[in-house]
Amino acid sequence: MHWMSGVLLYVIVWWLVFFAVLPWGVRIPDKPERGHADGAPERPMMLRKVLATTAIAAVLWLAAFALIQSDLISFREMARRMGD
Protein backbone atom coordinates (compact mmCIF):
# COMPACT_ATOMS: atom_id res chain seq x y z
CA MET A 1 0.00 0.00 0.00
CA HIS A 2 1.34 3.40 -0.95
CA TRP A 3 1.64 5.83 1.99
CA MET A 4 -0.91 8.19 0.45
CA SER A 5 -3.42 5.35 0.12
CA GLY A 6 -2.82 4.52 3.77
CA VAL A 7 -3.49 8.11 4.84
CA LEU A 8 -6.63 8.31 2.73
CA LEU A 9 -7.90 5.02 4.14
CA TYR A 10 -7.27 6.25 7.71
CA VAL A 11 -9.12 9.52 7.08
CA ILE A 12 -12.13 7.69 5.65
CA VAL A 13 -12.18 5.18 8.51
CA TRP A 14 -11.75 7.99 11.07
CA TRP A 15 -14.78 9.93 9.78
CA LEU A 16 -16.95 6.82 9.60
CA VAL A 17 -16.08 5.91 13.18
CA PHE A 18 -16.54 9.53 14.31
CA PHE A 19 -20.12 9.64 13.07
CA ALA A 20 -20.77 6.31 14.79
CA VAL A 21 -19.29 7.59 18.09
CA LEU A 22 -21.07 10.97 18.15
CA PRO A 23 -24.29 9.71 19.78
CA TRP A 24 -22.45 7.99 22.66
CA GLY A 25 -23.45 9.43 26.03
CA VAL A 26 -25.71 12.15 24.65
CA ARG A 27 -28.17 13.47 27.22
CA ILE A 28 -30.79 15.97 26.14
CA PRO A 29 -31.87 18.46 28.85
CA ASP A 30 -35.43 18.26 30.16
CA LYS A 31 -35.90 22.00 29.80
CA PRO A 32 -33.58 23.51 27.19
CA GLU A 33 -32.53 27.10 27.70
CA ARG A 34 -34.11 29.74 25.56
CA GLY A 35 -32.32 30.04 22.22
CA HIS A 36 -30.89 26.50 22.35
CA ALA A 37 -32.02 23.73 20.03
CA ASP A 38 -34.33 21.17 21.64
CA GLY A 39 -32.02 18.29 20.74
CA ALA A 40 -28.74 19.96 21.75
CA PRO A 41 -26.82 17.78 24.25
CA GLU A 42 -26.02 19.08 27.73
CA ARG A 43 -22.35 18.05 27.59
CA PRO A 44 -21.17 16.86 24.17
CA MET A 45 -17.76 15.58 25.49
CA MET A 46 -16.15 16.13 22.08
CA LEU A 47 -12.54 15.62 23.23
CA ARG A 48 -13.40 12.20 24.67
CA LYS A 49 -15.22 11.26 21.45
CA VAL A 50 -12.33 12.43 19.25
CA LEU A 51 -9.84 10.41 21.31
CA ALA A 52 -12.06 7.31 21.22
CA THR A 53 -12.52 7.76 17.47
CA THR A 54 -8.78 8.04 16.92
CA ALA A 55 -8.07 4.87 18.90
CA ILE A 56 -10.83 2.82 17.25
CA ALA A 57 -9.90 4.07 13.77
CA ALA A 58 -6.25 3.18 14.38
CA VAL A 59 -7.18 -0.41 15.29
CA LEU A 60 -9.47 -0.75 12.26
CA TRP A 61 -6.82 0.80 9.99
CA LEU A 62 -4.18 -1.62 11.27
CA ALA A 63 -6.51 -4.54 10.59
CA ALA A 64 -7.21 -3.28 7.06
CA PHE A 65 -3.50 -2.65 6.46
CA ALA A 66 -2.60 -6.17 7.61
CA LEU A 67 -5.31 -7.67 5.38
CA ILE A 68 -4.14 -5.70 2.36
CA GLN A 69 -0.45 -6.47 2.92
CA SER A 70 -1.07 -10.19 3.47
CA ASP A 71 -2.67 -10.60 0.01
CA LEU A 72 -5.30 -12.78 1.64
CA ILE A 73 -7.74 -10.84 -0.51
CA SER A 74 -6.04 -9.81 -3.74
CA PHE A 75 -7.88 -7.06 -5.58
CA ARG A 76 -5.49 -7.36 -8.50
CA GLU A 77 -6.31 -11.06 -8.83
CA MET A 78 -10.04 -10.30 -8.64
CA ALA A 79 -9.70 -7.71 -11.40
CA ARG A 80 -7.69 -10.13 -13.53
CA ARG A 81 -10.38 -12.80 -13.16
CA MET A 82 -13.14 -10.32 -14.04
CA GLY A 83 -11.28 -9.38 -17.20
CA ASP A 84 -11.16 -12.97 -18.46
For the chain, what are the domain ranges? 3-83
Q: What's the pLDDT tens digit per position in 38-70?
A: 888 888 899 999 999 999 999 999 999 999 888
Mean pLDDT of 23-41: 85
Residue ranges of alpha helices (H) inside 1-84 are 3-21, 46-70, 75-83
Residue that wins the pLDDT comparison between 59 and 71: 59
Using 50, 70 and 90 to split pLDDT, how confident is the model at 36? confident
44 HSE (CA, 13 A, CB side): 6
Q: What is the mean pLDDT of the chain?
A: 90
**What is the predicted pLDDT for the residue at 47?**
97
**What is the predicted pLDDT for the residue at 56?**
98
